[in-house]
Structure 1
Amino acid sequence: MKQYLKQFATSKWFDVLGVVLVVGIAISAGYLNSRLEKFVDWGPWTALVPFGLISVINVGISMLSTRFTGQLNKWGNYLGIVNTILSGAIDFILGNKAAIITYPVTFIIYTFAIKKWKASHEGIPNTMNPSQKRLVASIITIIAFTISSVANYIGFGGHMNFLSILTTIVFAFSLIANLFNALKLDTQWPFWMIYNIVQLLKAFTQGNFANVGKYIFYIVNAMGALLFWKDKEKVSLLSK
């Protein structure tokens, strides 16, 4: 089973399948032909902006970023930067007013990740002993939930309802995972699993069954990536 999960995480065929899956879901949701004017009225020029096409391309970029990161490919972080910029703009336009605060934080983390990965051995994760990981995990969790709570409280104008609380929790888990990614530690993958499980439950609750398949794919990918990173971590420890 472990071998199949690792093959899933590293297979180029599943890279293609993942992109086809998320792009297909985005197109089936009716995003492809929508224009910016459907969502905001910023002048006549909004009728010329292919908002739907940009959104569809962005979900493909997001999938490739996730897949490449799981394969210890540095291009995952570069695509993550592009995805962060596009996703932040899209979320803000669709009504997530906290996006103007939360996405710049993610952007900064990705720039740090690019620098950190460049300074490390290519194709091999960084390592920490279990006690160090627990300490770092505790600090990162406190920082992530604090930043997410403050950012979303400001972004939602102090009106904390079910949606804003859920957004706060989801963003906090993504922050934790992204911070561990910036440190190039395999600890990111359990947090990505939690993040995607929450998103999966959210999709079920909303009746968005198209997204169910997407998040199941992401969960399996996170499991395989964790095993793959663990193998590479052993290689790193043996070489020391």
Structure 2
Amino acid sequence: MLQKIAKSKSFDLLGVLIVVAISIASGYLTETLADVTHWGHWTVFVPFGIISIINSILSIYSTRLTGRMNNLGNVVGIANVVLSGTIDYILGNQAAVITYPVTFIIYTVAIEHWKRTEKYKSSKPMTGAKGVLTIIGMFILSLLFSFGTNYIGWTNGLTDPLFWITVIAFGLSLGANVLNAMKFEMQWKFWVLYDFIQLAKAGIQGQLR
């Protein structure tokens, strides 16, 4: 059942329709850059809401395609990283200029690695105590790296709730992206957790705006 859902193009379209419908209902569709920044009068001509919606659609297709072990998903992911980093910086994540380039590099590594592997097939999962310890160690390092890079980029990080939620979100995404680059299906368990963290992050960003 889950495999059918992962491969269904109808679910791809459903995800897009949900994003667009929610954006229209919330008024986000008509939001401009002027609504989130104070950079000058020219910002009223930048359709920030539409750009964000497009970025969400890219994220959906990147996830759906990589879920099918299609390398095109990693290519789409690079475009998503560039837009996400820009949007995240505008919404208050000053460390985005440090963290998102790392994700960009991981995606380029993923593209090259997937080219050298059998199409549409994942790598054999890591099993046993060694595999578990490897995964735990990788995510600990990812969270420590996330803390360090975000701490450099934030002026009041330790007292800012958005800082801590960003540290967790980037740490999880970093670890999951490494698993993706290695073509391990176990990455999806961590992406589910990441999605919930992102919801909390969006709520904090909404309160600060």
Counterpart secondary structure, 1:32: helix
TM-score (norm 2): 0.87
Task: Read off the aligned partner of 2:195 and give its amino acid letter.
Answer: N
Structure 2 gaps of 5+ residues are none
The CA deviation at 1:27 is 2.8
In structure 1, the residue matched to 2:155 is: 157
Greater RCO (CA < 8 Å, at least 6 residues apart): 1
In structure 2, the residue matched to 1:30 is: 27
Q: Is the contact made by 2:168 and 2:197 (CA closer than 8 Å) also made in structure 1?
A: no
TM-score (norm 1): 0.77
Structure 1 gaps of 5+ residues are 209-240
Deviations 1:117-171 (A, max 9, x none): 1111111111244145324313321321111101121222243233211221121
Q: Is the contact made by 1:22 and 1:63 (CA closer than 8 Å) also made in structure 2?
A: no
State the 4+ residue runs in structure 1 displaced beyond 6 angstroms.
203-206
Q: Is the contact made by 1:113 and 1:181 (CA closer than 8 Å) also made in structure 2?
A: yes
Task: Read off the aligned partner of 2:167 and give its amino acid letter.
Answer: T
Counterpart secondary structure, 1:37: helix
In structure 2, the residue matched to 1:178 is: 177
Q: Does 1:113 align with 2:103?
A: no
Deviations 1:24-71 (A, max 9, x none): 223323221122222224344323222111111111111111111111
Task: Read off the aligned partner of 1:155 and give its amino acid letter.
Answer: G
Q: Quickly say closer, same or farther: Cα 1:31–1:171, change in 2 above 3 A.
A: same
Q: Is the contact made by 1:145 and 1:169 (CA closer than 8 Å) also made in structure 2?
A: yes
1:127-138, aligned counterparts within 5 Å?
A: 127-131=124-128, 133-138=131-136
Q: Is the contact made by 2:58 and 2:76 (CA closer than 8 Å) also made in structure 1?
A: yes
Aligned length: 203
Question: How far apart in 1 are the matches of 2:96 and 2:63?
Answer: 20
Task: Read off the aligned partner of 1:139 and give its amino acid letter.
Answer: G
1:33-112, aligned counterparts within 5 Å?
A: 33-112=30-109
Q: Quickly say closer, same or farther: Cα 1:84–1:126, change in 2 above 3 A.
A: same
Question: How far apart in 1 are the matches of 2:114 and 2:149?
Answer: 27
Question: How far apart in 1 are the matches of 2:201 and 2:150?
Answer: 21
Question: How far apart in 2 are the matches of 1:172 and 1:203?
Answer: 14
Question: How far apart in 2 are the matches of 1:205 and 1:5?
Answer: 29
Q: Percent of aligned positions with the same letter in both sequences? A: 45
Question: How far apart in 2 are the matches of 1:99 and 1:27?
Answer: 27
- What is the root-mean-square deviation of aligned Cα atoms in Å? 2.2
